[in-house]
Structure 1
Amino acid sequence: MHPKPNLANHSTLSVLPKRIIIMRHGESRGNLDYSAYTTIPDHQIPLTDVGLAQAQDAGSRLRHLISTASYTDSWRVHFYVSPYARAQSTLRELGRSFTKKRIIGVREECRIREQDFGNFQVEERMRAIKRTRQRFGRFFYRFPEGESAADVFDRVSSFLESLWRDIDMNRLHHDPSHDLTLIIVSHGLTSQVFLMKWFKWTVEQFERL
C-alpha cells in the first residue's frame, strides 16, 4: 500500500489500523493428497480435521495477541477473506474466539484468492509443469489455463488500493478510540505477493522466498 505523500497531515491519521495480520488457511485436503485436485475444483477443496483445529487454535492465539498488545480494552477486528472454501472455513473457526462486538466487519474479497492453476488438475502433468516453473522462474511462469505470480501481483495491487481507500474514507466505520486490527485470511502464494507489494521487494527477492 502506498500512503499519500501528505499522510502525516491527513485528517484520518487517527483511524489508521494498528496492525494488519496476514493468515494462510489451515491444512486442506489438497495439502495431504494432491490427487484431490483431479476431482474437486480448487475453490472447493475443504480443510482437514487438523486444519479445522489449526484454525481454532489460531483464533485463540490471535485474540490473545491483539488483546494483550492493545493499550485499552476497546479493540476491534475487521476480516478480509478469500472466497475459497478452505479460507472461509478457516475464518469461521478462528472467528469463534471473537465476540460480535469485537468484529466490526467481514468482507469476502475475490482478489485475494489462490493463484489459479487451471481447472481440474492432472496430478502427473502438474508435477511436470511445476518442474518447468522452477527452471523458468516462479514469478513470471504462467500455468496453462491459469495465472502467473505476476498476475496475482496485479490483482493484489488492486486490492491494496481498495484497502487504502477503505481506511482513508473510513468505509470500515472504525471508531478512532478503538485499536483496529485488519486480518486477511488468504493463501500462501497470495500472502507472499502481498508482502512483496507492501515491502516493495524485487522479483529477485521474491524468487528467493
Structure 2
Amino acid sequence: MPEPSTILNGQPRRETAPELPSVLIATRHGQSTANVEFQLAEANGALTVPISCRDADIPLSMHGQAQAQAFGRWWAELPTGDRPRSLWCSPYVRAAETARIALAQAAGLGSVPVGLPVRYDERLRDRELGVLEMLTAAAIEKHHPEEAARRRRMGELYYRPPGGESWADVALRVRDCLRDLCAEEAGHPVLLVAHDNVLLMLRYVLDRLSEAELLELDVVANCSASIWRSVDGRLCAEQWNGTGHLPATN
C-alpha cells in the first residue's frame, strides 16, 4: 500500500514544476552622483563626501542617464519573446530614474508598450549601512575602528553594521521578493532594476553560491545586464554583469 504521504484524494501525488518567469533580467541603476563622489573621495583618501540628501534620494549623474538610455536600446533589441513587459524596481530615486529612462527609450523604439507600469518594491532597496552610511573607507577606519575590525573578522556576508544590514539580511528580502515575482510573472519575461548588493544577493540565491564563490564576484557594473532563463524548473544563469551595450566612461 502506498504511504499516506504519496496519495492525494486516492490518486498518486504529482510533482508540479515551480512557477517561474520565462526570463529574468536584472540590472543595477546607472551611475549615480554618489558613485562619482565616492570614487573621488576614495582616490584622494577623503573622509567626507559632499552629499546632504538621504540615500534614497540620490539621483543619477549625466553619465548614468546615458547608461540608462543605452540599456533601453539593448532592451529594445532583445528577441521578442525575451523582451520584458513587466518591470520591478527599487523605490530609490536612482533606480526609479534608470527604469523610467530605459523604459522611455525602449518604448520610443516601439519595442515595449508606452506607459508600461513599474512595480516599486521596497524589498529591492539598497543595503542599509546604519552608522556607516555615507562614510568613506578612510572615515570608517578613523571614526569607527572597532567596526572596521569587526567587519574584517566577520566577512562581508555576515557583518551587520549598527543600525544596518548584512549581505545575508539583504538575501532574505531578495528571497521573499522572488517568491512574489515568480508567482506573479510566471511564464513571462520580467526586468528587475535595483542596486549592486541586491544583484549580488540575487545571484547568490538563484545560483546557490557558497560564501567563497560570492566573494570572488566582481563589482556589479552600473546598467549591466544579467540574465536568468527558466530551464527544468530553475532559473539558470545565461549572462552575468554584461556591459557591451554601454557607452564608454567619459
Counterpart residue type for residue 128 of structure 2: D
Counterpart residue type for residue 31 of structure 2: E
Counterpart residue type for residue 118 of structure 1: G
How high is the TM-score relative to the length of structure 2? 0.65
Paired position in structure 1 for 2:128: 116
Paired position in structure 2 for 1:28: 32
**77 and 102 in structure 1: CA distance in 2 versus 1, 3 angstrom threshold:** farther
- CA deviation string 1:36-78 (max 9, x = no partner): 47522111111100000110111001110244xx39xxx6510
1:187 to 184, 195, 198: 195
- CA deviation string 1:1-31 (max 9, x = no partner): xxx9411xx8xx7xx5331100000001111
1:145 is the counterpart of 2:159: no
- CA deviation string 1:90-127 (max 9, x = no partner): 01110112336377542001101110012653434336
Flag the structure with larger Rg. Answer: 2
Identity %: 27
**27 and 112 in structure 1: CA distance in 2 versus 1, 3 angstrom threshold:** same
> Which has the larger displacement, 122-131 or 186-195?
122-131
5+ residue gaps, structure 1, are 169-175
Paired position in structure 2 for 1:171: none
1:163 to 164, 181, 206: 181
Moved over 6 A (4+): none
Matches within 5 A, 1:1-209: 5-7=15-17, 17-34=21-38, 35-36=48-49, 38-67=51-80, 70=81, 77-99=85-107, 101=113, 105-118=117-130, 121-123=134-136, 124-126=138-140, 133-168=151-186, 180-209=188-217
Instruction: Give the structure with the higher percent helix.
Output: 1
Aligned residue pairs total 185
**43 and 36 in structure 1: CA distance in 2 versus 1, 3 angstrom threshold:** farther
Query: Contact 1:137–1:207 (CA<8 Å) still a contact in 2?
Result: no
Q: CA deviation at 1:167?
A: 3.2
Paired position in structure 2 for 1:173: none
**130 and 58 in structure 1: CA distance in 2 versus 1, 3 angstrom threshold:** farther
Counterpart residue type for residue 86 of structure 1: R
Distance between the aligned counterparts of 1:197 and 1:103, measured in 2? 31
* SS of residue in 2 equivalent to 1:77: coil
Counterpart residue type for residue 50 of structure 1: H
Distance between the aligned counterparts of 2:149 and 2:33, measured in 1? 22
Q: How much is the aligned-residue C-alpha RMSD, in angstroms?
A: 2.7
Counterpart residue type for residue 6 of structure 1: T
Distance between the aligned counterparts of 2:149 and 2:104, measured in 1? 40
> Which has the larger displacement, 42-51 or 94-103?
94-103
**90 and 130 in structure 1: CA distance in 2 versus 1, 3 angstrom threshold:** farther
